Chains A and B, each alone.
Chain A
Amino acid sequence: MNIPGEMTAADHLWQVLQAQADDMFALYQLAQLLSQSAEVDEIAQLALPELVRVSDGSHAAMFLPAVDGKLDLIAFIGPDVSDAEQLESMLEFADDEAALAWFQAASGLDVPPAGGDRAILRGGVASTAAHDGRQPSLHAVPGCLTLPLVLGIERAGLVVLSAPSRDGFSRHEQHLLGTMAREVERALQLAMAHSELRYRQQQVERMKTDFVAAVSHDLRTPLALIQASVDSLTHLPVTAEQRNRFISDIGQAAAQLTHQVDTILRFSALEEGHPNMQMQPVDLAECVARTVRQWGPTQQRITFRVPPILVEADPGALQQVITNIIANALKYSPEDAPVRIRGRAWQPRTVEESSEVTIPASVDSSSLGPTSAAIPERAARQFSARGGIALLDIRDWGQGIPSEDLPFLFTKFFRASNARQSSRGGTGLGLHIAKRLIESQGGSIRLRSRLGRGTSVRICMALSTGASN
C-alpha cells in the first residue's frame, strides 16, 4: 500500500475514474427508478430520496408549476417525515423565491438577510428559465441547493435540497445533481404528456358518447312527431284546419329529419376525404329562397332580403351551410323571435379593406390553428381579384353564445355551454360543417354573438365573374 498522504498520478487518476463511475451509477439508478413510473407524484417521491442521498442532504422539496403559473409543493422529505408518508400539501407559492423561503424555514436553514431582487440566494448565478429564459443554472447557498426543472416554454419547477451539515456543494456535485435533475425533468415531461393524452382521450370518448346520444334524440323527436301526426290523421276525426296543421307538422318534422341526415352524411363525407365542390355561378337570392322553403310555406319567422347576385359556389354545399345556420338560429331563439337574412354585394378597394369586412370586429371565432388566419387573406385576394364579395348576414335574437365558448364554436362536436344545458338536442356539427364547406368553396364564415342578445353569422363568397372555372 502507498504511504498515506502520498498520492501518485496513478492513484489520482484512479480516484477520478472511480468518482466518475460512482456518478454514472447514481444516474443509472435514478433513470432505472424513474422509468418505472409515469405519474408526477410518484416521480417526485422516487426522485427526492435519491437526490437527498447523493447530495448527503437532510431535506428536499419539489415544486411544480400549476396552470396559473404559481408553484405547487408536490413532495417534501426530511428526517422528521417518515418514509411512508410524504407531506400531503396544498401549499402554493407565488414564485420560486417564496417557495425557497418556505423551504428554508421548513428545513431549518438560516435565511440570509433580504435585500435586492434575488437577495434570498447568496452566491447563486442566474434565475430559473421560467423567469428570464436563460439556461437553467443552480443556486447555491451554504447548505442549500436549488435545481430548476425546465418542463416547457416558460414552465419551470424547482427542486430544493438542504444539507445543513455541509459547507456547500462542490462544482462536481452540483454538476452531478444538475444532471440528475435533467433526468427528473425528462420523466416529468413524459408523465405530463401522458396525463394530457389520457385527458384528451377521455374528452374524445365523452364527445363520442354525447354525439351518439344527440343523434338518437334528434332523429327520434321528429320521427315521433310524424308518427303521432299520421296516427291522428288515420284514426281520429279531424277538422280541415286540424288536418292542415298535422300536415304542416309532418312537413316540418320531415325537414328536420332531412337536415339531420344531411348533416351526418355531409360530415362523414368531409371526414373521409376531400369534399368535391362543383363550383359554378349560383344565384344567391334563389339559393336562399330555396333553402328557406324547407321550413314549409307557412313559416313566418324567417325573412330575407337578398339581391339576385351571382356567387361562385357549389349550390348543394352553399344550401347546406345556410340551412345549418338558420337551423341554429331557429333552435336557440324563442318561438316567435325572427331570423333575418340580408345579403349584398360589395367591392373592396384594397385587400386590407376586404380583409376587414370579412372579419367582424368581435372575437375571431374560427377553429384554432394557423390555417384559419391565412384563409381570410387568401379569400380577400380572391375576392378583390374576382371583382367583388357577396356578404350574407344571418341574424337572430336568441340566447346568444357565452364569450368563452366563441373560440371553439367551429370545432367538431363542440356545443356551447348554454346549448348543452338547454333541453334541445344537437350534435355540435352544424357550424363545423358550415365552416369546412364554406372554406372549401373559397369563402369565409365569421360569427358575432352576445349572451342573451343574439347571434349574427356572416358568410362571404366571391362574386362570380360569369364564367365558371
Chain B
Amino acid sequence: MSLANSRASDTRSPHRFDVGDLVAWLHLCVDQLTRHEAELTALDEAIGDGDHGHNMRIGFLAVVEDLAEIQAGDPDLGAILSHVGLILISSVGGASGPLYGAALIEAGLAVSGQTEAGLPELAAALEAACRGVARRGHCYPGDKTLLDSLQPAADALKTALSSASHPAGSVHEQWQTGASLAVPLDQMSEAARQGMLSTIPLQARRGLAMRYGPRSMGHQDPGATSCYLLLQALADTWKQRRQ
C-alpha cells in the first residue's frame, strides 16, 4: 500500500486514531452492548446479581447522549476519554462503573492533549487503563475480572509495537511513526477474546462472584466479556472507517 497516496486522498490517517474514530467507537459500543445485553445478563446471573448487561448499556447510552457536550472543546483525545470515564463512573451501576471509569480516565491521561494516537500512544493508553483497573479494583490478571481481557489486549499492542520497532532500515522508520493500526488492533481484539475465554475455568477472587468460591469456576466472567466487546468494537471501528 502506498502510504503517500493514502495520506493525500484521505484526511483520515491510516496510522493514527483520531477523534472521529473515537466517537464512532463509542456509538459502536452502544450497539454491541445492546446486541449482547441478554448474554451479559445471563453470565452475570450465574455468578453475580444479573445486572451487568443492563448496567453497561445504560452507561454507554449516557455517554453518547452527552457526546455533543463532550466534543464541544478542542479535539483532545485524552480529555474526551477522561470525560467518558467520569460519565461511566456515575452511570454504570455496580462495581463496573468505577472500574471502567478508572480505566478510561487513566487512558485519557496517557494521551492527554493529543488529537491523534498512533500505535505507541494506543499501547500506552491501554497499559494505563490496566493500571487504573488494577489500582482501583486491587486486582491482578487471573482474578477473573475485566482485567483478564484488558491486560492481554494491552500486551498485544505492546508486542506489536516492539516488533514494529525492530530495526530494519528506512522502512522501519516509516513503520515506527506510521505503523498501520489494522493488524495490531486485530491482534489486540483476538488477545482480548482469548483472555475472556481464559476466565471460564478460573475461580473468582474479586467482586461479588467471590462469594461463589469454587462454584464460580466454569462460568465466563461478565466483566471480561463486556471488556472484550468494547475492544472488539475498537478494532471493528478501525476496519469500518479505514478499509
B95–A26 touching, CB < 8 Å: no
Within 8 A of A (CB), among B117-157: 135-139
Q: Quick check: is B239 within 8 A (CB to CB) of the other chain?
A: no
B135–A22 touching, CB < 8 Å: yes
A32–B205 touching, CB < 8 Å: no
A1-B113, A49-B210 are contacts. A84–B138 as well, Cβ < 8 Å?
A: no
A49–B205 touching, CB < 8 Å: yes
A32–B135 touching, CB < 8 Å: no
CB distance from A230 to the nearest CB of B (A): 67
B208–A54 touching, CB < 8 Å: no
B203–A26 touching, CB < 8 Å: no
Q: Quick check: is A301 within 8 A (CB to CB) of the other chain?
A: no
CB distance from B136 to the nearest CB of A (A): 5
Assembled-state Cα–Cα distance A18/B112 (Å): 17
Assembled-state Cα–Cα distance A351/B151 (Å): 83
Which of A21, A25, A46 counts the most B-chain CB atoms under 10 A from its CB? A25
Partner of B138, one of A21, A33, A54, A83: A54
**Chain A residues closer than 8 Å to B105, beta-carbon distance:** 18
CB distance from A52 to the nearest CB of B (A): 9
Q: Quick check: is A252 within 8 A (CB to CB) of the other chain?
A: no
A49-B205, A83-B205, A84-B203 are contacts. A25–B98 as well, Cβ < 8 Å?
A: yes
Partner-B contacts on A (CB < 8 A): 1, 18, 21-22, 25-26, 28-29, 32-33, 36-37, 46, 49, 53-54, 56, 83-84
Additional A-B contacts beyond A21-B98, A21-B102, A49-B205 (14; CB < 8 A): A1-B109, A1-B112, A18-B105, A21-B89, A21-B136, A25-B136, A29-B95, A29-B137, A33-B211, A36-B208, A53-B138, A53-B139, A54-B138, A84-B213
Task: Output the nearest chain B residue to A54 by Cβ-Cβ distance.
Answer: B138
**What would 18 A/B residue contacts be, using CB atoms closer than 8 Å?**
A1-B109, A1-B113, A18-B102, A21-B102, A22-B136, A25-B136, A25-B137, A33-B207, A33-B210, A33-B211, A36-B208, A36-B211, A46-B210, A53-B138, A53-B206, A83-B205, A83-B213, A84-B213
**Chain A residues closer than 8 Å to B95, beta-carbon distance:** 25, 28-29, 32
Assembled-state Cα–Cα distance A18/B89 (Å): 12
Interface of A is mostly: helix
A83–B136 touching, CB < 8 Å: no
Q: Quick check: is B201 within 8 A (CB to CB) of the other chain?
A: no
**Chain B residues closer than 8 Å to A46, beta-carbon distance:** 210-211
**Chain B residues closer than 8 Å to A49, beta-carbon distance:** 205, 210
Assembled-state Cα–Cα distance A262/B40 (Å): 67
Assembled-state Cα–Cα distance A22/B105 (Å): 13
B113–A33 touching, CB < 8 Å: no
Assembled-state Cα–Cα distance A1/B89 (Å): 23
CB distance from B141 to the nearest CB of A (A): 14
Which of B98, B102, B203, B207 counts the most A-chain CB atoms under 10 A from its CB? B98
CB distance from B241 to the nearest CB of A (A): 27
CB distance from A151 to the nearest CB of B (A): 23
**Chain B residues closer than 8 Å to A21, beta-carbon distance:** 89, 98, 102, 136
Which of B207, B208, B214 counts the most A-chain CB atoms under 10 A from its CB? B208
A83–B203 touching, CB < 8 Å: yes
A29–B205 touching, CB < 8 Å: no
Task: Output the nearest chain A residue to B217 by Cβ-Cβ distance.
Answer: A84
**Chain B residues closer than 8 Å to A84, beta-carbon distance:** 203, 213-214
CB distance from B85 to the nearest CB of A (A): 11
Within 8 A of A (CB), among B212-243: 213-214
Within 8 A of A (CB), among B15-57: none
Partner of B208, one of A26, A33, A53: A33
Assembled-state Cα–Cα distance A22/B205 (Å): 18
**Chain B residues closer than 8 Å to A18, beta-carbon distance:** 102, 105
**Chain B residues closer than 8 Å to A83, beta-carbon distance:** 203, 205, 213
CB distance from A6 to the nearest CB of B (A): 14
Assembled-state Cα–Cα distance A295/B158 (Å): 100
Which of A29, A33, A49 counts the most B-chain CB atoms under 10 A from its CB? A29
